[in-house]
Amino acid sequence: MLKIFPKNKLRYKKGQMAAFFVVILVILLVMALITVNLGKVSLIKTDTSNAADSGALAGGSTMANVFNQQAVTNSQLQTNYDYFDKGEIVLTALAVILGATATISCASQVCPPFVTCCPSPKCFSDAKSIQSLIDSIELAFEGYMVTQYFNYMKMKEGANEGRSTAMKLAYRFAFYNSGIGGKLISGKAPADLAEIHGDEFNYAARFNEFVSDKTKGKSAPPAHLDYTWTDGQERKHLVRVKVTTDGVGKYELRYTKFNTATLGYFLLDASFARIDLAAACGECPCSAAEVGAMAAAIGIDLGLFVGGLEEGGIGEFSWNHPFIRVHDIVHDRLFRVETWQVHQGKNYGLWETKYPKAWNPELESAGTLDQNANSDKRITSFGVVTFKGYGNIDTFDPSFDADLIETDGGKKQ
C-alpha cells in the first residue's frame, strides 16, 4: 500500500493550472461570441448605410434631371409670351395707324356748297379693319392663355411623374444595395412546398419580383416598402426602406401686371369705341374731331392692354391672372432615404444571437416598428441628398445637380 500510495502523492502539484485554463477558455469563448454578434451588427450597419446612400443619390439625381427639364420647358413659356406680346404690340400699332388714317380721310373730305356729302368710304373701311384687329387681339389673348395653361399642366404632369420615378428608383437602388441578396437562397422557390426552406420570400427570385412589381408602372409609390422573409431556421427578417421628398404640385408663377378682368375691360371698351367710330364715319358729313376722338380712345384702350401685359407679381395659378412663366417650384430640393433592418436572433441555449437585440416579429405585424420604444430593435441608416446645384427655373438655368450632404456620420462640410 505504501508503494502504491506513497506519502509524497499528497504533495503532488501537477494539473493545478487546468482550472484557470478552463476559466480563461470560457472568457475567450464569450468574447468570441460577442465579437461574432458585433461583427454581424457591423455588417448589417454597412448594408443599411450603402442602401440609404445609394437610394438617396439615385433619387436625388433623378430629381435634378426633373428640375433641369422644368427649367428648359419654362424657357418655352417665356418664348410663347415674347411672341404673343410682340404680336399684340404690332396689332395695336396697326389699329392706331388705321384710326389716324380714318381721321385724316374724314378731315380731307370736301363737300361742295349746297351738296350733301356721302359718308367717307375710307373712314368706314378703316373702322371695319380696326374691329378686325381688335378681334385678332382678343383671339390671340385667349389662345395665349389656353396655350400657357396647357404647357403649365404638362410641366406639372412631368414633374409629378418624374418625382414618382425618382422615388421608385430610390427604392430599387436601396433594396438592391441592402445586402438582402446575400442572405437569400438563389433561384426560385421549389414547387413542392415541403422542399421550401423557410418561406417563398427566402428566395432571390421572389425578392427580384417584389422589387420589380413595386417600382414599375405609373402608380404613386408608397411612403415606405417592407420586405420580410423567414429563413431555413425559422427566423424572421425585415428590411424597410422609406423615401421622403417634398411634393412638386405647388408652382409660383410670374404674372402679367394686370389681371384678366382688367385686360378684358380694355378690349371691350376698345370694341365699344370702334362702334362709335363707325357711327362717326357714317355722319354726313363726318366730323374729323369726333372720328379722331374715337380713334384716340381705341388707341388708349389698346395701349393700356399692351402695357398690362408687362411682367408683374408672383403667385399661384389663377384664370383671373395671365402668367408669363414659372417663377419657381415650392420644394426644399432635398431627397431623403432611410433604411433599417431587423433580424430575429437564434437561441442556442448558452448563447443567443441578437441583431442588435432580440426582435419579436409579432410586434411588427401591429406596426410598432415606427414607435420609439422599438428603436433599439433595428439597425438604421439614412442619407440626404440636395439637388439644388446652381440651377434656377426662373432664369431657365438647367444646372441642378445631386450632392450627398448628410449621412449617419453627420453633415458634409
Please state the rounded mean pLDDT for residues 229-247: 90
The mean pLDDT of 2-20, rounded to a whole number, is: 57
pLDDT surpasses 50 at 370: no
Give me the pLDDT at residue 343, please. 81
- The rounded distance, in Å, linking the Cα atoms of 9 and 34 is 42
What is the C-alpha separation between 265 and 260, in angstroms, rounded? Answer: 9
**Average pLDDT in the 317-333 region?**
94
Reported as half-sphere exposure (CB side, CA atoms, 13 A), residue 24 has a value of: 5
The yes-or-no verdict on residue 166 having pLDDT over 60 is yes
- Give the model's pLDDT for residue 182: 84
User: 55-86: per-residue pLDDT in tens?
Assistant: 999 999 999 999 999 999 999 999 999 999 99
At residue 122, the pLDDT reads: 81
**Above 90 in pLDDT, residue 220?**
no
Taking each helix axis from N to C end, the angle separating 121-176 and 288-307, rounded to the nearest 10 degrees, works out to: 10
pLDDT at position 9 is: 54
Is the per-residue pLDDT at 151 higher than 80? yes
Residue 288: its pLDDT value, please?
A: 81
Name the more confident of 175 and 5. 175
Q: What is the pLDDT of residue 385?
A: 96
**Where exactly are the structural domains of the chain?**
30-411
Model pLDDT for residues 104-132, shown as the tens digit of each residue:
887 776 666 545 566 677 888 888 888 89
Predicted local confidence at residue 38, as pLDDT? 52
Instruction: Calculate the alpha carbon distances from 61 to 170, 224, 334, 338 in Å.
Output: 10, 20, 11, 17
On the CB side of 411, CA atoms within 13 Å amount to: 2
As a whole-number percent, the residues of the chain with pLDDT over 70 amount to: 79
**pLDDT (0 to 100) of residue 80:** 95
Q: What are phi and psi of 219, to 5 degrees?
A: -70, 150
Of the two residues 82 and 30, the one the predictor is more confident about is: 82
Indicate whether 156 pLDDT > 90: yes
What pLDDT does 413 receive? 59
Could you tell me which residues are beta bridge partners of residue 321? 318
pLDDT given at position 198: 87
Cα(229)–Cα(342) distance, integer angstroms: 11
Band of pLDDT at residue 218, cut at 50, 70 and 90 = confident
State the pLDDT at residue 328.
Answer: 96
- Report the largest interatomic distance among the alpha carbons of the chain, rounded to a whole angstrom: 176
Q: What Å distances lie between residue 15 and 10, 20, 21, 22, 242, CA to CA?
A: 14, 10, 10, 12, 60
Range with the poorest average pLDDT among 52-61, 168-177, 230-239, 389-398: 230-239
pLDDT of residue 358: 43
| Highest-scoring range by mean pLDDT, 151-155, 342-346, 409-413 | 151-155
Average pLDDT value for the chain:
83
Per-residue confidence at 223, pLDDT binned at 50, 70, 90? confident
Specify the pLDDT at position 12. Answer: 54
